[in-house]
Each structure stands twice: as C-alpha cells, then as structure tokens.
Amino acid sequence: MSSGPSTDPASLELQCVFCGEGIEDGEYDPCAVALIAKWKLAEQARSQYFFCHSTCFQQAAKTYPDIDLLRPEFWAEEEPGD
C-alpha cells in the first residue's frame, strides 16, 4: 500500500534559488521566499515559493540591508497576544 512520494519536510533536499547550492539546517535555514506575480492585480495574482539560504537572501536584498526576521532579537520578542 503506497501513499505516493514522501513529502516529509525533514527528508527533502532543498536547493538555494540564488546560489544553487544545497541548504543545510541552520540558525535560520532553510528559508523560503514567496514570489507574487501580478501583485497589483489581486484577482490575477499568483504566488510561488522558492527556497534559499538566509545569507543569500540578505545579500540579494540591496534595498533592505537589515531584515528583521534574520536577527536574533526578532525571535526573542514575544508574539503579540501571547
């Protein structure tokens, strides 16, 4: 009785969309980014996710050099409502 291909996230080998290398588990890795095409046209917009290294995303984000999600302080803060 087969249930099809494994979709266990722990067993997937992920490849970085920016550098092409494999992504090992790390402090923030693996990360995923969402590409939303036709973002201004809400009815037509579609999204696709890509895996990446946190460091590769940080290097590619030329206009946003200090990403909150990639700082330890962000994770130390409590979620609103907790």
Chain residues binding Zn ion by CB under 5 A are 16, 18-19, 53, 56
The phi-psi region of residue 38 (left if phi > 0; otherwise alpha if psi is between -120 and 50; otherwise beta) is: left
Distance CA 77, CA 59 (A): 25
- Looking at the Cβ atoms of 9 and 31, the one nearer to Zn ion is 31
Closest distance of CB 13 from Zn ion, Å: 14
Minimum CB distance to Zn ion, residue 30 (Å): 10
Q: Is the separation of the CB atoms in 49 and 28 below 8 Å?
A: no
State in angstroms the smallest separation of the CB of 65 from Zn ion. Answer: 17
